[in-house]
């Protein structure tokens, strides 16, 4: 068990009639990489600003290792920050930018010099110390912003979409770097993004927000494999949504049906006792086969080739339209638009959705 560094209890933030945070309760563990993920307007920046001390809460409490910091100004919290629009100082060199937080804290000159060198090394920018920010690319500027935020050895680093302005390839490289920087420094990272791939690939734990409320939190694979409501299943990866009629149940083994076809569904955990189950089915969990060879028969509507995989849209009389993703290198059949096809899945593929959107 690791220790809790931050406790957020019933945090609520109103901007006039807008409820930006609605009773958010969350513990942040010492040293973890925690990501706040949600669509635009879900309250991510507001929550991060509340943690930083820039957005005072309307209600609720924030504690740092058990100490109430709800009303403490940002400079007393001493968190590192890499925010959108929290740019480098344009009139200072790279070196002076990184030194700035240390000078504000009146650290001795020798220590400032040593920390600046160390932080330049962390972000692999040793050769750029004397440049001005305008002489750096976007990715290089973000590296310096990161070095500046880490220079005074903060216990928590807050990052608000730090990579969103960068192109895809550079973003992927910096994701790896940020992750390995986190792992080697042991600093607690609270990272905000609206990009699900970024959240899944970097985080120890992800908190999914919508309309200022936590929908679900957990490790990336838990969230992906066991979304509790439709919003999470849809926001994190792609899902098909199906209604299954329950014919029989024995422990965690259910017999369900779509139209006249019965099949087994494995249901670990709580299953609502209803006649119709709402389930999410990932596109990569559906198998395609020659007509008649699998559980259900349908028609191929569209095929989209993506290189490593192929997306196939099929139509079934009762199930409706389904998206299937199959690796091109081991495709069992070659689907063609307009032709019949058969499809099925394993008993543990459908995920029973037990929660309404919070």
| Contacting residues toward ligand ADP, per CB under 6 A | 15, 18, 20, 38, 40-46
Q: At what angle do helices 109-122 and 94-104 cross, to 10 degrees?
A: 130
Give yes or no for a contact between 144 and 152, defined as CB atoms under 8 angstroms apart.
no
Q: Closest CB to Mg ion among 209 and 233?
A: 209
Query: Is 196 an interacting residue with respect to Mg ion (CB under 5 A)?
Result: no
Q: What is the dihedral of CA 184, 186, 189, 193, to 10 degrees?
A: 30
> What's the closest the beta carbon of residue 150 comes to ligand ADP, in angstroms?
23
Q: Closest CB to ligand ADP among 36 and 244?
A: 36
Picked from Mg ion, ligand ADP, none, the partner binding residue 2 (CB below 5 to 8 A depending on kind) is none
Picked from ligand ADP, Mg ion, none, the partner binding residue 97 (CB below 5 to 8 A depending on kind) is none
Query: Is 45 an interacting residue with respect to Mg ion (CB under 5 A)?
Result: yes
Picked from Mg ion, ligand ADP, none, the partner binding residue 326 (CB below 5 to 8 A depending on kind) is none
Tokens of 35: 């990501």
Picked from ligand ADP, Mg ion, none, the partner binding residue 319 (CB below 5 to 8 A depending on kind) is none
Q: At what angle do helices 168-185 and 138-150 cross, to 10 degrees?
A: 20
d(CA 6, CA 320): 46
Residues whose CB is less than 8 angstroms from the CB of residue 249 and which lie 6 or more positions away in sequence, other chains included: 255, 267, 271
Chain-centroid distance of CA 101 in Å reads 29
> What's the closest the beta carbon of residue 20 comes to Mg ion, in angstroms?
10
Q: Closest CB to Mg ion among 162 and 227?
A: 162
String of b and e for 283-321 (b: at least 16 CB within 10 Å)?
bebbbbeeeeebebbbebeeeeeeeebbbbbbebeebee
Q: Is 106 exposed, middle or buried (0-12, 13-18, 19+ CB in 10 A)?
A: exposed
- β-partners of residue 281 are 240
Picked from ligand ADP, Mg ion, none, the partner binding residue 31 (CB below 5 to 8 A depending on kind) is none
> What's the closest the beta carbon of residue 87 comes to ligand ADP, in angstroms?
18
Give the sign of the dihedral formed by CA 219, CA 225, CA 230, CA 235. positive
Query: Is 193 an interacting residue with respect to Mg ion (CB under 5 A)?
Result: no
Picked from Mg ion, ligand ADP, none, the partner binding residue 46 (CB below 5 to 8 A depending on kind) is ligand ADP
> What's the closest the beta carbon of residue 320 comes to ligand ADP, in angstroms?
32
Q: Closest CB to ligand ADP among 42 and 229?
A: 42
d(CA 271, CA 355): 11
> What's the closest the beta carbon of residue 94 comes to ligand ADP, in angstroms?
28
> What's the closest the beta carbon of residue 164 comes to ligand ADP, in angstroms?
11
Q: 98-137: which residues touch Mg ion (CB under 5 A)?
A: none
Q: Closest CB to ligand ADP among 45 and 142?
A: 45
CA 331-335-336 angle, to 5 degrees, is 150
Q: Closest CB to ligand ADP among 140 and 196?
A: 196
> What's the closest the beta carbon of residue 205 comes to ligand ADP, in angstroms?
18
Q: Closest CB to ligand ADP among 209 and 286?
A: 209
Chain-centroid distance of CA 31 in Å reads 18
Give yes or no for a contact between 268 and 252, defined as CB atoms under 8 angstroms apart.
yes
> What's the closest the beta carbon of residue 19 comes to ligand ADP, in angstroms?
8
What does the binding site for Mg ion look like in residue numbers (CB under 5 A)? 45
């Amino acid at each position: 068990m690791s220790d809790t560094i931050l406790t957020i209890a019933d945090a609520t933030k109103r901007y006039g009639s807008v409820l930006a945070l609605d009773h958010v309760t969350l513990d942040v563990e010492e040293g973890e990489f925690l990501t706040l993920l949600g669509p635009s307007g879900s309250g991510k920046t507001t929550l991060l600003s509340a943690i930083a001390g820039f957005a005072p809460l309307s209600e609720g409490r924030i504690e740092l290792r058990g100490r109430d910091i709800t009303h403490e100004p940002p400079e007393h919290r001493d968190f590192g920050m890499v925010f959108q629009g929290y740019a480098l100082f344009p009139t200072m060199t790279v070196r002076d930018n990184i030194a700035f937080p240390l000078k504000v804290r009146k650290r001795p000159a020798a220590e400032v010099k040593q920390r600046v060198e160390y932080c330049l090394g962390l972000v692999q920018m040793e050769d750029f110390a004397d440049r001005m920010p305008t002489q750096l690319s976007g990715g290089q500027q973000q590296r310096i912003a990161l070095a500046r935020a880490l220079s005074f050895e903060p216990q928590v680093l807050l990052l608000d979409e730090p990579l969103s302005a960068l192109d895809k390839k550079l973003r992927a490289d910096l994701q790896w770097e940020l992750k390995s920087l986190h792992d080697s420094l042991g600093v607690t990272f609270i990272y905000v993004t609206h990009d699900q791939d970024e959240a899944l690939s970097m985080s120890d734990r992800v908190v999914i927000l919508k309309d200022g409320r936590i929908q679900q939190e957990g490790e990336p694979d838990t969230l992906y494999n066991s979304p509790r409501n439709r919003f999470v299943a849809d926001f994190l990866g792609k899902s098909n949504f199906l209604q299954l009629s329950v014919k029989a149940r024995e422990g965690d083994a259910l017999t369900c049906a779509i139209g006249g076809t019965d099949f087994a569904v494995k249901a670990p955990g709580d299953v609502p006792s209803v006649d119709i189950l709402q389930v999410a089915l990932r596109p990569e969990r559906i198998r395609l086969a020659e007509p008649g060879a699998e559980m259900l028969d349908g028609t191929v509507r569209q095929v989209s080739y993506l290189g490593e995989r192929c997306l196939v849209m099929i139509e079934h009389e009762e199930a409706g339209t389904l998206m299937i993703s199959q690796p091109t290198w081991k495709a069992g059949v070659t689907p063609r638009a307009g032709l019949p096809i058969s499809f099925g899945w394993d008993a543990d593929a459908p995920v029973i959705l037990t929660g309404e959107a919070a």
